[in-house]
Amino acid sequence: MKVVIDTNVLVSALLNARGTPAIILSLLLNNKLRIIYDYRILFEYIDVLSREIFGFDEEIVSGLIDYIKNEGEFTNADHLNIKFADETDKKFYEIFKTAKADYLITGNKKHFPEDNKILTPREFLDLL
């Protein structure tokens, strides 16, 4: 199953190893999900997960990024002429649409157009 994962899901997964986002990360790392990304998403993952405020172990972040690069699917996004309240979220939607991913998983559904394939982590797990 091909998914696009918003950065906030990865942050939540690393902050709380027992939470719903951590289950999604586990599914990803156990090859039950295939993450779709582009260079903009990858750079955001690196930037956010490396922030001192979170205090994530450098090796864990590096390992996760390497896993995404090696096991994920890189896609060049088509530019979509859609206005976003937060333009930084647009890249996730563009990859989701371009790659025809099965789902976009985000903790901020309200930031995206209404679509029954854009799910919160809980909604995604309930669907599985």
Give the CATH number for residue 90. Answer: 3.40.50.1010
Distances (CA, A) of 62 to 36, 44, 46, 72, 128: 18, 13, 8, 15, 29
The pLDDT-based confidence of 126 (bands split at 50, 70, 90) is very high
The total number of structural domains in the chain stands at 1
| Owning domain of residue 33 | 2-127
- By three-state DSSP, how is residue 36 classified? strand
Is 55 strand, coil or helix? coil
Q: What percent of the chain has pLDDT over 90?
A: 92
63-95 pLDDT, tens digit each: 999 999 999 999 999 888 888 878 899 999 999
Determine the average pLDDT of the residues in 95-123.
96
